[in-house]
Structure 1
């Protein structure tokens, strides 16, 4: 089982290197369902793994000139404040609530990865960075990161494009810096009351870093849009699985048990309809 857990951590790293986010949403389910780690410890460990993997993955983007440091640092500092608060609050919430919130985050991430991007190919040109808007967005995304242990890259990348005026490739690289900063802040909040199993966290981090380097190297050679959509379907399935796992047993035997499957079916129908329109 440890080999499968490390392989999954490597996949998380690859997706971070390719897309600037998305893969970290799998870290908590991997820790909970493959490694048997309690939910709150899994969130804390996820924040460490995602922080280190994102930081190392950002190196390749920095060398290629795909990081806007001023924008990333402003967004990152705001995100750190929100993430630290989320990290302090998370340990006091029921584990079932945390996992249900995480499942909702997975479904939102999946839909964002599957659907056609609404981000303009050429971002709006800005003479000055809209600092208040960037700070507000950073605080909200950081709070989510601190609570559920996911980097929130699917929120950070569009925000950097639309608020920061960055091109997509630069937004992906810059988002890794932001994710690393706020994940570390969220971890600091969790460490006040939640222990971390470093004997598992460090090997998973090493696997994630290796995957991140591979993803960064492949970023300019693969059809990232097609891969992102395929990965989005996988995240959608995992989100439904986590949601079902957190449902009370009585609910699973009621008519409401069809709700998660209904959500997945609706998302699939919408995506298929859009695909047919593109073909015709």
Structure 2
């Protein structure tokens, strides 16, 4: 086994660890690990990422549900448009991306480069979301009434669904703010609810790939199993580590990774 492949499997553990510690962000790591360490094509990597993040998030969602930190009604309101969007994106839109997206002079932007640069832009947005210190708000009360802004929640679900379909990221950095602002969920419940939404729509998105791609199940299941071990460890360690500091630190790491991907793909 080559060093890069070994580091890739170690990265699977880290993906789960991050999901367990901060309730999101693991998907931001999965695609770069699969592309740069394992050596997969970006389109295949985004598909595998959906499965890994989806299954791993199921474990996190179950643990949060046991603690009463998952709002099922909000999950349904958000998830239905997201599920439709992510499935249609993986089933039809991704396969329509041409081999050469566009040409600038002598430089060809292939579909692989396009997807990785688009993913890097998503990483930039994610890093800013994690680095920014959230303002204190009134919806920290676990017993506060939940207000449903159906049109906005549905629209956010569609946007996140399309984004998830293209880059294979769970979109937790978009879902959590939406649940806090639009559904007035307390932060802890927003994190738990987000994991459930991420789990369901990621796995639905993966189903859209089954007819388009040949899946290496032996590799995918091993990688996913390591990620599950990571999230179990992460959930346990989260009791002893400040989530705010860890989230901000991971945000800076994501920012550096985003610039690295842009540099590597374009320069």
TM normalised by structure 2 equals: 0.88
Which residue number corresponds to residue 96 of structure 2?
92
Cα separation, 2, equivalents of 1:118 and 1:90: 37
Q: Deviations over 1:34-62 (max 9, x none)?
A: 00011111010000000000001111111
Q: Work out the CA distance in 2 between the residues paired with 1:131 and 1:57.
A: 26
In structure 1, what is the equivalent of residue 78 of structure 2?
Answer: 75
Instruction: Please state how far the C-alpha of 1:219 moved relative to its aligned partner.
Output: 3.0
Check the 8 A contact 1:57/1:212 in 2, yes or no. yes
CA displacement at 1:99 relative to structure 2:
1.0
CA distance change for structure 1 residues 126 and 132 in 2, over 3 Å: closer, same or farther? Answer: farther
Aligned length: 248
Task: Tell me the distance in 2 between the aligned counterparts of 1:127 and 1:109.
Answer: 26
Distance in structure 2 (CA, Å) of the matches to 1:220 and 1:76 = 29
Name the residue aligned to 1:168: 187
Q: Matched residues in 1 for 2:53 and 2:95: separation?
A: 18
Q: Structure 2 residue aligned with 1:63, among 61, 66, 69?
A: 66
Structure 2 residues not aligned, in runs of 5+: 98-110
2:164 to 131, 141, 145: 145
CA distance in 1, matches of 2:13, 2:136: 28
The CA RMSD measured in Å over matched residues stands at 1.7
Cα-to-partner distance string for 1:166-213 (whole Å, 9 max, x where unaligned): 111111111000001111121122223122222221111001111111
- Structure in which a larger fraction of residues adopt helix: 1
Q: In 1, distance between residues paired with 2:16 and 2:146? A: 34
Residue equivalent to 2:127? 110
Change (3 A) 1:86 1:123: farther
Q: What do residues 40-99 of structure 1 show as CA deviations (whole Å, max 9, x unaligned)?
A: 110100000000000011111111111111111221222111111221212332221111
Structure 1 pair 127–73 and aligned structure 2 pair: CA distance change class (3 A)? closer
SS in 1 for 2:212: coil
With 75-84 and 139-148 compared, the bigger mean Cα shift is at 75-84
SS of 2:214 mapped into structure 1: coil
Q: CA deviation at 1:126?
A: 4.7
Q: What's the counterpart of residue 273 of structure 1?
A: none
So what's the TM-score if we normalise by structure 1? 0.84
Check the 8 A contact 2:90/2:166 in 1, yes or no.
Answer: yes
1:25 aligns with 2:28: yes
Alignment match, 1:226: 245
Is 2:179–2:190's contact at 8 Å kept on the other side of the alignment?
yes
**Matching of residues 179-190 of structure 1 within 5 Å:** 179-190=198-209
The CA distance in 2 between the partners of 1:119 and 1:49, in whole Å, is: 33
C-alpha distance in 1 between matches for 2:146 and 2:73: 14
- Note if contact 2:26-2:53 (Cα within 8 Å) is conserved in structure 1: no
Q: Cα distance, 1:118 vs. partner?
A: 4.2
Shift of the alpha carbon at 1:127? 5.6
For 2:146 and 2:59, how far apart are their aligned partners in 1? 31
Which of residues 45, 51, 55 is equivalent to 1:52? 55
Matched, 1:9 2:12: yes
> 1:119 touches 1:161 (CA, 8 Å); kept in 2?
no
Runs of 5+ consecutive residues of structure 1 not aligned to the other structure: 253-280
